[in-house]
Structure 1
Amino acid sequence: MRKQLANETSLHYLDSKKRKAMLDQEKKQEIITGFRRHDGDTGSATVQVALLTRRIQQLTDHLRQNQKDHSSRRGLLQMVSRRRKLLDYLNRTEPVSYRDLIGRLSLRK
């Protein structure tokens, strides 16, 4: 009986993880379609910045609850740095697109 209950609990946990992964994938696809420049565009700087912004927001929420998670904090700092570099590149090459992206994502300059 205990073993069966444990299996059901772990199956429920796996189902919730699968559902969360599916939601994350749907959200990612939604972001890509919202910021892409043309059909099939998944890697332009604007798409990368938008995806990084979403991941940074999620990680920031995680760190508010888990203040001692230093490895996640390091990952957050790396993501912020990568986003900053992409934004600098975008500002150098396409200033109009940069200003539009900053406005759409509500980021500071």
Structure 2
Amino acid sequence: MSVTKEKIEELTKEFGENENNSGATETQIAIFTERIRNITSHLKQNKKDHSGRRGLVILVSKRRRLLDYLRKNNVDGYKNILEKLKIRK
């Protein structure tokens, strides 16, 4: 199940500076987190889906790089997004 346009708009309003700023680092991390949660639930049911698992690893890597960038440039925003999205780091 993919992330719907409505869900992306909702995440953009919550984490972006305004409703049109889907490119903000915090917004991208939130969207990646939602996609990761969807793929994780899919993989719990479909254990042999190796291409899905590969996609999950790629998404987690992209999110980790964005989190590292955010930690380097905005420590308060980094701590805030970890707390809001319940990401362990």
Q: What is the TM-score of this pair, normalised by structure 1?
A: 0.77
Q: Distance in 1 between matches of 2:20 and 2:71?
A: 23
Unaligned runs of 5+ in 1: 1-19
Deviation at 1:39, TM superposition (A): 4.3
- The ranges of structure 1 where at least 4 consecutive aligned residues each deviate by more than 4 angstroms after the TM superposition are none
Match of 1:105 in 2: 85
Match of 2:71 in 1: 91
> Which of 42, 45, 50 matches 2:25?
45
Q: What is the TM-score of this pair, normalised by structure 2?
A: 0.93
Q: Distance in 2 between matches of 1:39 and 1:64?
A: 33
Larger CA Rg, structure 1 vs 2: 1
Conservation of the 8 A alpha-carbon contact between 2:12 and 2:22: yes
2:52 aligned with 1:72, yes or no? yes
The answer to which structure, 1 or 2, has the higher relative contact order (CA under 8 A, 6+ apart) is 2
Match of 1:81 in 2: 61
Percent identical pairs in the alignment equals 40
Matches within 5 A, 1:4-83: 24-83=4-63
Unaligned runs of 5+ in 2: none
Deviation at 1:40, TM superposition (A): 2.3
- Considering fraction of residues, name the structure with more helix: 1
How many residue pairs end up in the alignment? 89
